[in-house]
Structure 1
């Protein structure tokens, strides 16, 4: 009788353990999304409703919320490749490494563990498929700039679904030599390539493995910013939905899906607050897609949301005890498109645009003067830049990691940050904490402050990967 009780207890405990295992794993990474990017977005949403406080994003309502440290093996300030590798493999490495340790040995990723455990695997992003963060989950290269070599690693990993803007160097090696296009190589490995959502819907049913990128002719480096989106543009929520449908078709043994909101980082590099907050909202919309799936499979699904590092040193408040985030609603497009509009005006007027014409453009695109009164100092900043770049024709573009910006657009962005009372300490990464949120099977493992290397280890434990 006593032995029988032990057997029953073992069976019961085994059953409980199995029931709590995550069959479906969603791993969301907001590139550059520090604590203030999240908090600022929630206050931005609250101010839109005419109140002070926060309007929670969905992922901040998850029952588990904490912070993680992000330093790399070589510096307190990490880059995306070292941070991506930490989030993918649970190991620190040098800035620049993709899926390799300090000695350039290959590290196994949590996605590879999921695949070996019989799960289907998806790696998706709003930037290029061969960019640092997604690459860290499937590739193993000594340098993140080896885009062609990273792309060649994609079919070697054998994952089931990839998605993003496109590929940065589809036929050029790291040493700038012409090479066979990666697209036929990937197709010969059994992948179906869909360019755009309509093509994906046509091809998905018969495809064994899939790569979803933007339509032919689109810029391959990334999807458009949410603030700039036009009808028919591929979106991160659509990618997430497509990934779920593809990874659950046929023999459904569960899946692991990484989704990166890559352009939060790009907007932070550009110190463009309105664009940053809209990108965080867009990531949350992708999380909402996963959450709808979670509601159907609450005992088998784990959702983890985090970031690789903070970008920009975003400060919420400058000088006065005030924020005016609602003013950012008057910005109609990203700094990148404002820069293009100014360049177009310069060409249209053969470099002779008047101050009134420039003012009209800024009023239309940023709400200056019409909805947003400017101080004398702010107008002087814009007028001085106009005199330098339009009248004297001394045009010095501001350069950040992912953009070259018209000097007048750069000045307009600074004025907008001043009006909103948002500060920036950097146009690069910082060493600030990043948030970690979790819900579902195994989410209790994510309680307490941790290092970023702990996150994939705890995911693997929650999902029972070998």
Structure 2
């Protein structure tokens, strides 16, 4: 009798363990999203309600929350490819590597393990499909800049759903030679390519595998910033919703879906706080889509939200023991579009007046009309106007993903000063990144960890071998 009780106990234990296994896995990665980017966004939202404090994002309310370290095998400060590889494979590697170890051997990713376990797999992003973070989940190349070669790895991985802005080098190899377009190669491997959401909806039902990118003519490097979005633009929440619908049709063995908010990093490289916070909100809106799915399958779904590294060295406060984040709501567009508007003004007028420039900055940034400037701040802008418009000495400021009009760069610095947001530079830092989790296996995401632990714990929660 006692033996029968033990047998029944272990059967019950095994059944309970299986029931808690994560059949559906969502893995959200906010590129460049350090702790202050998250906390700053919540304080920015609270200030819009007229109060000091935080208005929680959905993912910060998840029951499991901790921080992770991000250093690579070769650098105290990681790049996105080494960090992406760590988050995808659970192994450290050198800066620049995509899905490879120090000796340039291919590493198995958690997405590949999911596919091996019979799950459907999706890899999605708000930047290009061949960019470092998404690439780290399906490709194995010695250098992140090998965009064409990375794209060739996409059909080899055999995943079910890919989505993003497009492809950076669809017909040019890493050594700058012409090559067959990647699109027919992907289609010949059994993928349907949908350009835009309408085309996706028309093609999804009959497609075995899918690649969703932006409409023809859109910039392939990325989706527009949330702050710049126009009606009809593809969005990260829409990509997430499309991925769920595609991965749940037919085979119901579960899925693994990685979703990257890639342009948080881009805005941080540009030290553009309003654009950063709006990108974090946009990632949270994508998490909300996953959360609606979780509510229908709470015992079988795991959602993990983290970041690959911090970018910009963002600080909340510049010495005066206060913040004015609500001021950022006066900024109508990203630094990139402000830069374009200033370039257009220069082209349209041989000698644009200071009053014309002031009117543009007042309209786009709220300066003077909504946000009073100090004498020093106005002098910074006026001096840059004199140099670049009057003397015609235009030296664009360069960050990793943008070339910015000097006057737009000065306006961005003034806005950060007004909001009291500080920056240590335009590159990555070694700061902790946040980790949040909810659902089946979320109890594994406790205690300070290294980024390499995250995919290992996902695999454990989901039962991947």
Unaligned stretches of 5+ residues in structure 2? none
Looking at structure 2, the residues matched to 177 and 351 of structure 1 have their Cα atoms a distance apart, in angstroms, of: 40
Report how far residue 351 of structure 1 moved: 3.5
Tell me, what secondary structure is at the counterpart of 1:465?
coil
User: How many correspondences in the alignment?
Assistant: 465
Q: What are the Cα deviations for residues 259-297 of structure 1, in whole angstroms up to 9, with x where unaligned?
A: 000000000000000000000000000000000000000
Q: What are the Cα deviations for residues 55-106 of structure 1, in whole angstroms up to 9, with x where unaligned?
A: 0000000000000000000011000000000000000000000000000000
Looking at structure 2, the residues matched to 351 and 307 of structure 1 have their Cα atoms a distance apart, in angstroms, of: 45
Looking at structure 1, the residues matched to 362 and 2 of structure 2 have their Cα atoms a distance apart, in angstroms, of: 82
Looking at structure 2, the residues matched to 292 and 451 of structure 1 have their Cα atoms a distance apart, in angstroms, of: 29
Q: What are the Cα deviations for residues 4-36 of structure 1, in whole angstroms up to 9, with x where unaligned?
A: 112101110011100110000000000000000
Q: What are the Cα deviations for residues 401-443 of structure 1, in whole angstroms up to 9, with x where unaligned?
A: 0000000000000000000000000100000000000000000
Looking at structure 2, the residues matched to 171 and 252 of structure 1 have their Cα atoms a distance apart, in angstroms, of: 36
- State the TM-score, normalizing by the size of structure 1: 1.00
Looking at structure 2, the residues matched to 212 and 74 of structure 1 have their Cα atoms a distance apart, in angstroms, of: 35
Tell me, what secondary structure is at the counterpart of 2:319?
coil
Looking at structure 2, the residues matched to 159 and 252 of structure 1 have their Cα atoms a distance apart, in angstroms, of: 15
Looking at structure 1, the residues matched to 301 and 350 of structure 2 have their Cα atoms a distance apart, in angstroms, of: 57
TM superposition outliers: structure 1 runs of 4+ over 4 Å: none
Q: What are the Cα deviations for residues 198-224 of structure 1, in whole angstroms up to 9, with x where unaligned?
A: 000000000000000000000000000
The residue aligned with 2:320 is: 320
Q: What are the Cα deviations for residues 326-350 of structure 1, in whole angstroms up to 9, with x where unaligned?
A: 00000000000000000000000x4
Looking at structure 2, the residues matched to 76 and 351 of structure 1 have their Cα atoms a distance apart, in angstroms, of: 48
Tell me, what secondary structure is at the counterpart of 2:304?
strand
Looking at structure 1, the residues matched to 35 and 398 of structure 2 have their Cα atoms a distance apart, in angstroms, of: 25
Looking at structure 1, the residues matched to 97 and 350 of structure 2 have their Cα atoms a distance apart, in angstroms, of: 44
Looking at structure 2, the residues matched to 352 and 31 of structure 1 have their Cα atoms a distance apart, in angstroms, of: 40
Tell me, what secondary structure is at the counterpart of 2:258?
strand
Q: What are the Cα deviations for residues 327-385 of structure 1, in whole angstroms up to 9, with x where unaligned?
A: 0000000000000000000000x431000000000000000000000000000000000
Looking at structure 1, the residues matched to 352 and 99 of structure 2 have their Cα atoms a distance apart, in angstroms, of: 50
Tell me, what secondary structure is at the counterpart of 1:363?
helix
Report how far residue 251 of structure 1 moved: 1.5
Report how far residue 2 of structure 1 moved: 1.9
Looking at structure 2, the residues matched to 57 and 149 of structure 1 have their Cα atoms a distance apart, in angstroms, of: 37
Q: What are the Cα deviations for residues 136-161 of structure 1, in whole angstroms up to 9, with x where unaligned?
A: 00000000000000000000000000
Report how far residue 174 of structure 1 moved: 0.1
Unaligned stretches of 5+ residues in structure 1? none
Looking at structure 2, the residues matched to 286 and 402 of structure 1 have their Cα atoms a distance apart, in angstroms, of: 23
The residue aligned with 1:43 is: 43
Looking at structure 1, the residues matched to 169 and 111 of structure 2 have their Cα atoms a distance apart, in angstroms, of: 24
Tell me, what secondary structure is at the counterpart of 1:332?
coil
Q: What are the Cα deviations for residues 180-234 of structure 1, in whole angstroms up to 9, with x where unaligned?
A: 0000000000000000000000000000000000000000000000000000000
Looking at structure 2, the residues matched to 387 and 406 of structure 1 have their Cα atoms a distance apart, in angstroms, of: 13
Looking at structure 2, the residues matched to 381 and 447 of structure 1 have their Cα atoms a distance apart, in angstroms, of: 47
Looking at structure 1, the residues matched to 251 and 4 of structure 2 have their Cα atoms a distance apart, in angstroms, of: 36
Looking at structure 1, the residues matched to 7 and 422 of structure 2 have their Cα atoms a distance apart, in angstroms, of: 62
Looking at structure 1, the residues matched to 258 and 193 of structure 2 have their Cα atoms a distance apart, in angstroms, of: 19
Looking at structure 1, the residues matched to 256 and 458 of structure 2 have their Cα atoms a distance apart, in angstroms, of: 10
Tell me, what secondary structure is at the counterpart of 2:460?
helix
Tell me, what secondary structure is at the counterpart of 1:357?
helix
Tell me, what secondary structure is at the counterpart of 2:275?
helix
Looking at structure 1, the residues matched to 169 and 81 of structure 2 have their Cα atoms a distance apart, in angstroms, of: 17
The residue aligned with 1:379 is: 378
Tell me, what secondary structure is at the counterpart of 1:124?
strand
Looking at structure 2, the residues matched to 114 and 3 of structure 1 have their Cα atoms a distance apart, in angstroms, of: 37
The residue aligned with 2:426 is: 427
Tell me, what secondary structure is at the counterpart of 1:436?
strand
Looking at structure 2, the residues matched to 85 and 182 of structure 1 have their Cα atoms a distance apart, in angstroms, of: 23
Looking at structure 2, the residues matched to 426 and 59 of structure 1 have their Cα atoms a distance apart, in angstroms, of: 27
Looking at structure 2, the residues matched to 405 and 92 of structure 1 have their Cα atoms a distance apart, in angstroms, of: 34
The residue aligned with 1:403 is: 402
Looking at structure 2, the residues matched to 188 and 94 of structure 1 have their Cα atoms a distance apart, in angstroms, of: 33
Tell me, what secondary structure is at the counterpart of 1:57?
coil
Looking at structure 1, the residues matched to 123 and 87 of structure 2 have their Cα atoms a distance apart, in angstroms, of: 13
- State the TM-score, normalizing by the size of structure 2: 1.00
Looking at structure 1, the residues matched to 361 and 319 of structure 2 have their Cα atoms a distance apart, in angstroms, of: 26
